[in-house]
Structures are given as structure tokens and as C-alpha cells.
Amino acid sequence: MNNYEQVLVALRRVIRATDLHSKRLSKHAGLTAPQLLIMRTIRDLGQVTIGTIADKVSLSQATVTTILDRLEHRKLVYRVRSTTDKRKVHAHLTEEGAELLAQAPQPLQEDFIQKFQSLHEWEQSMIVASLQRVASMMDADSIDASPVLDVGPINREDGWKGRRKQSAG
């Protein structure tokens, strides 16, 4: 196999692994990766504002609000306006949301992050540079993307409407 074919196969494997994980997450928990990350952020930080969630998961506040709307509709989260600052709204997990989160698979990027961080710094730098070059070669430099491994919408309800950053379902 030529070098370029090996690169294309490796890229296809990454895409396929992301797709398979997204389908598994959807099947077992009925969630998308961004929904899972937002719920985990709420769990980890407790009473948290939408702006803080957006910062932690690298999505816009509008996208987080749209995702929270879906999660609230499913009774997995609820929002409460701050009693001290009426401009702030805090998100909380419901008991049902906490139970679902406890049974959900880990986000794909968590295992990756652990393995990546165990590499020597020079190996990390080489991977970053190589992938940035590949993205550039695919004319993907200007595509806005968050650090969430997700292949896009899992169902029609999670379409691209209202998304500012990539992989926001």
C-alpha cells in the first residue's frame, strides 16, 4: 500500500471509530456526544451557568442552550434562575439524568486523551503538527470545530439547526 493510501485508511478508521462510538452512545444512552459532555459538566461542576458549560465544552452559549432545551424536554436536566443575579441561569441534572449519565459509556475522547497524554511531548507535538497539516491539505483550516469526537446528528431531532460550532448535537 502506498503512503497516501495508508494515511487515507488511518483517517477512515478514525472516522469509523467515531461513528461506531456515536452509535453506541445513542443506542445505550439515547444521547449524542455533546449532550453527554454537557451532562457530565453539570454533574462535575454542580450548580453551573450556561456560559461556564459553554467554556468547558468549547461550544457557543447558543448551542449549549439548544442542547439544554432538548435535555430539559427529556427531563434529564432542569434550569433555575439565580436568586442573587436574575441574569444568570443555572443548570442541574435531574435524578433521571444522573442515572442515565451513570450508565452511559465514556466519551471517546477521554480514552484518547489519557493515551495521548502518556506520550512523550515530542510525540504529542508530531501528532498535532501532522494532523494540522492533514486538515490543511483537506482544506479544513477554516472549519470551526470543538474538541468533541462526534460524527454529527444521530437523529433528525439533533440536526444542524442552531449550531455555531461543529459537532454540537
Mean pLDDT, rounded, of the chain = 84
Percent of the chain with pLDDT over 90: 48
The string of pLDDT tens digits covering residues 25-80 is 888 888 888 899 999 999 999 889 999 999 988 888 999 999 999 999 999 999 99
29 to 3, 5, 48, 103: CA distances (angstroms): 39, 35, 23, 7
CA distance 106 to 68: 20
**pTM passes above 0.75:** no
Q: How many helices (H) and strands (E) does the chain have?
A: 7, 3
Tell me the domain boundaries of the chain.
3-158
Average pLDDT estimate for 102-131: 91
Per-residue model confidence (pLDDT) at position 32: 87
Q: How confident is the model at residue 21 (pLDDT cuts 50, 70, 90)?
A: confident
Q: Which CATH number fits domain 3-158: 2.60.120.10, 3.30.2270.10, 3.40.50.920, 1.10.10.10?
A: 1.10.10.10
